[in-house]
Structures are given as structure tokens and as C-alpha cells.
Structure 1
Amino acid sequence: MTDPFAQIPGAVLSDDGVAHFGDPTREQRALAQGEAIVPRGDRAVVAVSGPERLTWLDSITSQAVARLAPGVSTELLVLDPQGHVEHAAAVIDDGATAWLIADAADAAGLAKWLGMMRFRAQVEVALRPDLRVAGFVRGGGAEHALADAAARPNGVALVWQDPWMGVSAGGWQYARAEEHPGSAHAWAEAILEESAWADAAALPVAGLLAAEALRIAAWRPRWAAEVDERALPHESDWLRSAVHLAKGCYRGQETVAKVHNLGHPPRRLVMLHLDGSDSVLPERGARVLAGEAEAGHVTSSAWHHELGPIALAIVARRIPEGETLAVEADGVRVAAAQEVIVPGDAGATAEVPRITRLSRRPLAQ
């Protein structure tokens, strides 16, 4: 089926979907006000059904979902045995099926891994390319339109509300900002059937660039951007919404607990406010420099309608928090003011008592 959003006059396509519809700044303002929707060609749906779906997901992922009530939103990560992030998904359950929304490039891998982990569990896993995802900011006309349009195969509207606005139960926040920008990130995503998808194209629209700008400004990590083969959830403050620190064992749990309680993540996420004089944006993977030394790399970048050019970057923990950095973009060295998200001393939260060493002096006779 031809994507109706791609047929809208002015639509500029990217590999992931519609990047914008001709006026990215105006679209971003409308999206932030809750008056536009974003066709998320960069997101896909995985369905997990069966009577044991929630207890099974609870046992193999980072989030406590065993008692997840219908219509309640959460987020989970799949970690490798060393605690590195392998997959990430938004989750909403409707009482019969757990619906997982993942970045499109991750969805097939996530579904395959879940399928391999079924063993004797009474669950079924299916990638659902027949379903589409639309994003919006809650509180405006877009919310009302998509709440009505969302699929509801078991009577519950499939609208996921991003838990990033606060610290989830069992989670932890490393950021020390008095007003965390995520607290205003009232993001949501609706799962739509094909018929509703076609109708949704008549609503006010914004492109993927607008959604990315709002996400970056909220310091919100995602699999397609902030995750590489070394990524730990701690370094991007993902314990805030996707990890339950008090739940039972799961793959990678030992590393999660060890880094949080006794150590420090080797890297940390920062927000970069970029000098916009040269009107260039760094691409994902662009080098971040501290002086002449490489400090890390850019994970995401965008032009924000209020903040100007911004980026998220992963840098080494040793980089001083107050140091001005630079980013390489199109052969230009762009100055970058660092805003701390994850501080250098993140982790080591446990109060471990010191054990008094025994004296080597002989006991008094």
C-alpha cells in the first residue's frame, strides 16, 4: 500500500519515512503544541500474546511487567550477559496481548530474539508490519484525534504514553537538573490499522525531524541513536524509565546492579548546544573533541525551534563536566557548550561499610 503521508504535497522523504513536509520549524512548533501528528516510519510493532506473556517478559528483560495493568505504558530493554543494551521497546498491554513498539531497524531482531527465548512458555511472538505508528504530544487536538483512531483489538486503545516524564517505579535518575526537561516531554505513540492510517493523513502533520528535535531537547535516549555495542543503560540515564532495580534476575542484571551500586559507567551522555554560525549539523558518529583529544561521539542532532542547533553525545567519563567541547561537522570545527545529563560520578550509590583491617602487630601477651 502506498504511504498516504508520502503523497502529501511538500513531503520530503528520508530512509525512515517523511523527514518533513516543507517547513520543519513550523511543524515542530505545531507538534510541541499538540496540534500535529508524526507518521513514524521509523517505528514498528511486535505483538506478544499468550497467558504467560507478562511473566515471561518480566523474566528476560530489564523492566518489571509481570503485573502490568491493561492500558498502562512502560518501557523495557533487552541486555546481553555483560549488561549492554541489545534491544529496546515501548510496551502497552491490552489484557490479551503485549504490544511492543520498537525502532524499525531493531524490530525484526527483537522479534527474532524473543522467539528464540520462548522455550516452553505459553507465548506467541509476531512482527506486525500491517500496523503503523503515529507520534504526538499529549494535551492538544492530535491526542483526541489519535485516541479515537488507535487500534483496539481487545477493547483497549493502543496508545503508549512515554514514561520519560518521570522516574518509573524501581528506576533511578542520575541527572541532577532542578527541572529535568523530560518532565515536559508529554510524548505518546498510537498504533493504527491501515484504514485509520489513511484517514490520519488528513490531520495536521509534522515530520520525523520535528520529533527528533523534541526528543533530543528532552534528553531522551533511543535505540536507533544512543545505542552501540558498548552501550550500558546507566550512561544515558535509561535507568530512569526502562530498568527496575528491585526486580528479580534477568540477563545482564548483575552488571546493572554492579555499576549502579559499586562502580561508574565508563561513558556519559551530554547535551551539546552548538554554535550555529556555520549552519551545519554534525551527523551521528561525528567526533567530539576536548582540545585536540577525542572525547566521544555525537549520537543525535537537530535544529530546535527555540534552542537552535543541539545534539546528544556520549563522552568519556574522565572529560571534565565544565569543559567546552567541539564537534567535527562537514569539515568544520563547531564549538559545543556541554550540558551535563549523566554526571561523572554517576553510580556507586550503595553505602558499603568499610571493613577494618586486622592489625599485623602481634597480640599483646
Structure 2
Amino acid sequence: MTTPDGSPLLRVDGAVQADGRGAGVAAHYGNPMIEQRRLLAGDAIVDLSHHGVLGVSGPDRLSWLNSLSSQELRSLAPGVSTETLLLDPTGRLQFAMSVIDDGVETYLLLEAAELPGLQAWLEKMRFMLRVEITDRTEDYAVIGTMAPEPAALGLEPAAPNGMPLVWRDPWSGVAAGGYQYADAPVHPGATWLWSEVLVPRAALAGLREAAAQGSIAVAGLLAFEALRIAAWRPRAATEVDEKTIPHELDWLRTAVHLNKGCYRGQETVAKVHNLGHPPRRLVLLHLDGSDSVLPVHGDEVWADRRLPGGEPERVPVGQITSSARHYELGPIALAVVKRAIPATSTLFVQSEGISIAAAQEVIVPQSAGSVADIPRLPRLGIRTPHR
């Protein structure tokens, strides 16, 4: 975890500390727009040392994790990256984890605030299996980058068992066993070539020196968030609430294997995907920036409704989950809205007492789900023979 004074990279000139869940690392280093460009080009790193790392060792670790979560993990090869979800019995999302295995230990990367709860739950589920669960946050710090080869930026991944610990986000494509609801001709996630490198925590001081000398460029959380939102990439800390099911965020794309064995919440996953529709859907909003107000997490999204013979009225239809100022797209946000809201509707966001117009870009369409090809049987009844 970060020290009481925060990450050593907060001592780089221009660093401004983030607040909330980002406390302890930099929100930006003086120019978030330039930082976005550098990050997208693969020329910068993001300090994510406030994130948590949980290690699971023992010969039963992969089969055990496979039995509990949404992804197929039994045959996960050393160095191969994936992600998985823990759901409650009704299919609602509880934990989201980035996963990499080095042949000896499996590493689960997640928000630090979620780690104690996940660790406690996993400890209860060990039973007689040969697994050990260890908080590795004090050993390893997470550094994010979009560089194809992190070593080119001077990042030296930890490799305690000979395999470099570099998690490569699968969001750039549809994972094996996954399913994409978004029907965009070109998914913006295709350019989201994100990696998270585990480095020894003691290496943060050296990265600070390299940044101070200009041999490595740094970007803050604001740059990371802007590019993530533009890539439609869900994040548990922002897009997930107590009602979220994976379908609503198009997370079947990379975090759910639809053909694996049983796990908690699988019945809901299969039922909604094959027979139903998710009750809500994720959208990207292009916001009117004329008032210079950027909505925040939890701000309400509204739409106009016209009843037959009546005047139009504005009603709440969802909430903002994430927002950012993008270097090309301007003010943008992710929001979760009711499925019934037409894709053509202009939405409005209430923030700081101001109504901000927002144009939808569909991520999860209204038609998401009901993919099973079930033949329609003729209605049964009394048939009168033809004469």
C-alpha cells in the first residue's frame, strides 16, 4: 500500500494528488491533456501503486478459483492474462479481478478497498483445498502503461518465479468463451492496449528519480480515466453498484466464459443472456460543455417522456458512473440507464443545479440478450379436420 505520505511519484514536480479512491497517487502532473496523448502513444506510465495485489498459491489454486468465478481458469498458462468476476447467488457483481499466473502463484489485481472483503470471503471458501491466500500489496506496486513492451520505458517487472508479472488487459478483443453485445463496426476497445506491471514496491523510488530526470514520462489518473471511458472499458469501482449484472456493462466480452462449468451466479448469467434482457444498459455520453461543468459519479441522468395527450415531462432514467475531459472528444461520461430508453433519445444530466444535454453513443443495445435460437412451436388446440 502507499505510505502515509503517498507514493514516491507524488514528489515528481507538478504532481497533484488524487482524492477519494485515488488518494496516495497523482491525479495529474500539470497537464492532463498532454498526459493523455503520451499515455495513448505508449510513452508514459501511470502510478497505480494504491491498488491491491492478492496472491493465491498451492496446487489447487486455479481449479479452486475456476469453481468460484465467471472465467475459465483451470488451464490458464503462466504469463497469460485474463479477468474474472465473483457474483452473488442472484448473479449480481461483487468483485472484479485481473488475473495472471506465474506457474506457482496466481495474482489477483483489484481496487485496494475491495481487497480485505475479497480475501476474507476466499478464506471462508478454502475448505480442505491446497491453497494459500496472501496479501501481496506490500511486496508489489502496480504500474500502468500502454507501451507494447514495458521494458522499453525502463519498467522491470517482478519475476519471483521466473515469469515477469505483466497483466495485459484482454479488453482489446473478445475473449474465448465471451460474447460482445456492442455492435459498433469498430469497437473503441481495439486501441485500448493497456498493461499493468507488477514491480517490487521498493522500485517506486527509482521510478521517481527517472521521472525527475526526464528519462520516463508520467501520467496521472485523469489521463487514464479519460482513455478508459473512451474505450468503453468498465471499472468495478465506478460502473458497478449493488444491482449490477455483467450483461449491463458488456462485461461478458472478456470476464465471463459462457461454456464453463458451474459457479455462483451462473444461472442468472445464462438466463439473461439466452432468454432475457439486462434491465439496464451502459452508454457513452457526449456532454454539452458550454457550462464548463463536468458531472460526477452518481449524478442523475434524465430523459423527456411524452404521454398520450399530455405535456412532456422529464424523468430520471439512470446515473453517471464515470466522467472525464478527453483530449479529442471533449467532456464525456459513462452512464447506466434503463434499457427501455430509446437509443435516439437526447438525455440530460443534472449536476451542480445545471441541466447538461448529452448525446448517447450506444454500448449495450436495447436488444442485448435473448440470443438463444429457440424455435417457436405452434399453439396447441382443437384442430378441425378439413373436409
TM-score (norm 1): 0.96
Distance 2:136 2:184 in 1: 39
Task: State the Cα distance separating 1:112 from its structure 2 match.
Answer: 1.5
Equivalence for 1:120: 128
The 5-angstrom pairing of residues 129-168 of structure 1 reads 129-130=137-138, 131-139=140-148, 142=150, 144-145=152-153, 148-168=155-175
Q: CA distance change for structure 1 residues 211 and 334 in 2, over 3 Å: closer, same or farther? A: same
Among 289, 313, 317, the alignment partner of 2:335 is 313
Provide the C-alpha distance between the structure 1 equivalents of 2:130 and 2:200, rounded to a whole number of angstroms: 26
**Residue among 182, 200, 210 paired with 2:207:** 200
Aligned amino acid, residue 48 of structure 1: V
1:219 aligns with 2:236: no
Taking the aligned partners of 2:266 and 2:173, their CA distance within structure 1 comes to 22
Residue 92 of structure 1: CA displacement?
0.5
How far apart are residue 42 of structure 1 and its match?
Answer: 4.4
Number of the residue aligned with 1:11:
15
Mapping for residues 241-260 of structure 1, pairs under 5 Å: 241-260=254-273
Task: Select between 276-285 and 257-266 the one with higher mean Cα deviation.
Answer: 276-285
CA distance in 2, matches of 1:213, 1:294: 25
Deviations 1:257-315 (A, max 9, x none): 00000000000000000011111110101000102110100000001111110000000
Which of 285, 302, 312 is the aligned partner of 1:272?
A: 285
Shift of 1:321: 0.7
The AA in structure 2 aligned to 1:312 is: L
Contact 1:137 1:143 in 2 (8 A): no
Pairwise CA distance, 1:362: 8.2
Q: How many residues align?
A: 362
2: CA distance, partners of 1:188 / 1:294 = 37
Q: Is the 8 A contact 1:105 1:224 kept in 2?
A: no
Residue 170 in 1 paired to residue 177 in 2?
A: yes
Shift of 1:176: 0.3
CA distance in 2, matches of 1:143, 1:273: 36
Match of 2:193 in 1: 186
DSSP-derived class of the 2:195 partner: strand
Shift in Å at residue 114 of structure 1?
1.3
Q: CA separation in 2, counterparts of 1:212 and 1:260?
A: 29
Give the distance between the partners of 1:42 and 1:284, measured in 2 at CA: 20
For residues 30-64 of structure 1, what are the alpha-carbon distances to aligned partners after superposition, in whole Å with 9 as ceiling and x for unaligned? 11111110001442111011101000111000000
Q: What TM-score results when the alignment is normalised by the length of structure 2?
A: 0.91
Letter in 1 for 2:261: G
Aligned to 1:28: 36
2:310 corresponds to which residue?
none
- C-alpha RMSD of matched pairs (Å): 1.5
- The alignment partner of 1:343 has SS state of coil
Contact 1:136 1:143 in 2 (8 A): no
Name the structure 1 match of 2:317: 295
Q: CA deviation at 1:98?
A: 0.5
Give 1:86's aligned residue.
94
Q: 1:199-228 deviations in whole A, cap 9, x for unaligned? A: 122221000111011100000001001100
- Structure 1, unaligned stretches of length 5 or more? none
Letter in 2 for 1:313: A
Runs of 4+ more than 6 Å apart? none
| Partner SS, residue 122 of structure 2 | helix
The question of whether the paired residues in 2 share the 8 Å contact of 1:88 and 1:223 is answered with yes
Structure 2 residue ranges without an equivalent (≥5): 211-215, 305-313
